[in-house]
């Protein structure tokens, strides 16, 4: 291996997970994506950490002035994902089944779409009921 100059060594980017260094930011980014994807950290499997994350997420939503209904729905979506992730990791019959970052993003997209579809349906039913009640009077 060729010797690296002092300037090259100073410009290297260390991995925050394992300490390995890379010459470019792109190299570090690729390393983190393939070697340390979200959800594989030893800290994400602890239930206390997971519950703390949910509470932090809830307080961030509340400080952003979301309504209590929206905060509870979004917090519930995050909590459900944590349960799904832990169940898959626990399932003894499925040793090769893993969930990753792409699965989490897909789950969030589908859950948010379902949440807003349910809200539109409730609004439509409320309008229909209001019209029916006003006709009865």
CA distance 100 to 102: 6
Domain ranges of the chain: 6-35, 47-136
Residue-level pLDDT, tens digit, the chain, 137 residues: 566 565 555 677 777 667 788 888 888 878 877 777 665 554 444 555 667 777 888 888 888 888 888 888 888 888 888 888 777 777 666 666 777 778 888 888 898 899 889 989 999 999 999 999 999 88
CATH of domain 6-35: 3.30.160
- Identify the CA nearest to 48 among candidates 86, 21, 10: 86
State the alpha helices, DSSP H only, in 17-67: 25-35, 47-63
């Amino acid at each position: 291996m060729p010797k690296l100059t002092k300037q090259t060594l100073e410009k290297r980017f260390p991995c925050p997970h394992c300490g390995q260094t890379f010459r470019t930011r792109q190299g570090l980014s690729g390393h983190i994506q393939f070697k340390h994807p979200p959800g594989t950290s030893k800290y994400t499997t602890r239930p206390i950490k997971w519950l703390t994350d949910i509470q932090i997420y809830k307080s961030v939503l509340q400080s952003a002035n979301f309504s209590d209904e929206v905060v509870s729905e979004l917090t519930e979506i995050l909590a459900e994902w944590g349960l799904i992730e832990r169940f898959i990791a626990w399932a003894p019959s499925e040793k090769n089944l893993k969930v990753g970052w792409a699965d989490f993003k897909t789950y969030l997209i589908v859950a948010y779409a379902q949440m807003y579809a349910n809200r539109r349906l409730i609004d439509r039913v409320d309008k229909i009921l209001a019209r029916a009640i006003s006709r009865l009077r």
